[in-house]
Amino acid sequence: MPFLPVFLWTDILIFLLLAVITAGILYLHNKPHLRAPWIMVMQRKRGVISVIILLSYVFIGVLDSLHFRLALAPQQDKQQHYSTEVLSVLDWLVTPIRTQVEKTYSAPFATRLFVKEMQVGQSGQLEYSYPRLRYSGQHLQSENEKWADVTKIIVNSTLQATLFTLLLISFYLLYKSFRYQRKPMAEIKRLLKGESEFPVRTFYLMVFLLSWLCLTLIMLSQHYHVMGTDKVGQSVLYQALKSIRTGLAIGTLTTLVMLPLAILLGISAGYFRGWIDDVIQYIYTTLNSIPGVLLIAAAVLMLQVYMNTHPENFATIAERADIRLLFLCLILGVTSWTGLCRILRGETLKLREAEYVLAARSLGVGSFKILHRHILPNLMHIVLITVVLDFSGLVLAEAVLSYVGVGVDPSMISWGNMINSARLEMAREPVVWWSLTAAFISMFILVLAANLFADVVRDAFDPRMQKAR
């Protein structure tokens, strides 16, 4: 085989989560009363914008979760050997920006290094100047042509993105014309006036912006370092793309650990009360009294000691970093379920006294059936909103933990490690600002989209908002 598939633990859990989400979508498709709030989400412009941005991040994260090892040249023993470097489909797709490594720092779109070096000039004498980069701007006849070339590439990508969007709109108009037996011009007028149940114009605007951004980055990165390079000459754009999977893994896998604990203990404490409520309150009060950073630091350091004393259990550096990422998700999940548990306990105390619950109890319905049919469905909107908001907090938590040195493995690219490495860069003169800026923008867009999505979901599941509509 030309490659050997590699299945990391986080990859397996990520695809398991995607399978569960897909099954949930199929289940909702056949339940009109459950599907109605999600239709309301997609009828809001903020909902469409946030969903498209989140799906873009998820798509990149999924591509970066398909790992493999390339086959090496045949040896004398005629056995097939594979490289120790674990790559992903994303690495394969962005091979140019992954392999085009410079000597050290270079600014975005620069054609020369950021620092001066002693080099031989055109006259044959030594001079102290900024050397040319090996990959950026090498196709230019003169460095003065750089910005004209960049403008030409952007105009070309804009035209291609516009053509792609118009092609999608044409297929949409043809479909609507054949489906409802309307004239194409009538459908065009409806589209321009926004006379649709869903914000179609917003959708195509986002499609244009995303296609324009992708095409522009692809075309520019073939000739320039769009976001510059770091201390070892690696593309900052490549680091920002690779950090997406780490952020998504922290936010989603931690949720898998947190949700069962929060739902089970929170509902049990609120419904059964008595000594069960006292024990559960004692557990989460004790956890809250211990600083979470200390628990995380202690657990990560214990795992680090184990990995250092048992290196034979990890065949590659990627497996070692993956175990640390998985362990970090477990610790964050164990320490972050208390907030949702407290909220669910309070809501369950209120719901257990509702008339329909009292009626079910008086008719002899069992406690677990009441919890399943009456209590849990009326708490799911709180669970959804809290999970999305916690996702944003967990993405930011990874950055903070990596900054203080107890986050993901240093060999794993993440926004936290990018910010951590930018500490000394910001103290330089002149300042190396692009690594911190790239990490901040990437993380800001993801967190903002998640918060907007949570806001729209809250409105859609709020009965008062549904009555207002």
Q: Which neighbouring-strand residues pair with 11? A: none
Statement to judge: residues 214 and 247 lie in one domain = no
Statement to judge: residues 339 and 445 lie in one domain = yes
Look at residue 118 and give its three-state secondary structure.
strand
Q: What is the pTM of this model?
A: 0.88
Statement to judge: residues 331 and 425 lie in one domain = yes
Tokens of 39: 């239709």
Statement to judge: residues 250 and 201 lie in one domain = no
CATH number at residue 380: 1.10.3720.10
DSSP string covering 324-348: HHHHHHHHHHHHSSHHHHHHHHHHH
Statement to judge: residues 196 and 309 lie in one domain = no
In a domain, 157, yes or no: yes
In a domain, 82, yes or no: no
Give me the pLDDT at residue 463, please: 57
Statement to judge: residues 171 and 302 lie in one domain = no
Three-state helix/strand/coil letters over 13-78 = HHHHHHHHHHHHHHHHHCCHHHHHHHHHHHCCHHHHHHHHHHHHHHHHHHHCCCEEEEECCCCCCC
Statement to judge: residues 261 and 361 lie in one domain = yes
Statement to judge: residues 180 and 280 lie in one domain = no
In a domain, 155, yes or no: yes
The Cα–Cα gap between 370 and 359 comes to 10
In a domain, 399, yes or no: yes
Q: Is the dihedral of CA 426, 432, 436, 437 positive or negative?
A: positive
DSSP H/E element including 98: helix 95-99
Nearest alpha-carbon partner for 203 in 165, 173, 177: 165
In a domain, 257, yes or no: yes
In a domain, 444, yes or no: yes
Statement to judge: residues 182 and 266 lie in one domain = no
Q: What is the pLDDT of residues 333-360, one digit of tens each?
A: 888 888 888 999 988 888 888 888 888 8
17-31 burial, b at 16+ Cβ within 10 Å, e below that, comes to beeeeeeeeeebeee
Length of the chain: 469
Domain extent for 357: 242-452
Statement to judge: residues 408 and 263 lie in one domain = yes
The Cα–Cα gap between 222 and 94 comes to 10
Write out residues in the chain with pLDDT < 70, as ranges: 76-78, 121-124, 462-469
Which of 221, 250, 285 marks a domain boundary? 221
Nearest alpha-carbon partner for 380 in 452, 458, 464, 270: 458
In a domain, 285, yes or no: yes
Q: For the chain, how many structural domains are there in total?
A: 2
Statement to judge: residues 277 and 408 lie in one domain = yes
Statement to judge: residues 299 and 386 lie in one domain = yes
Give me the pLDDT at residue 465, please: 56
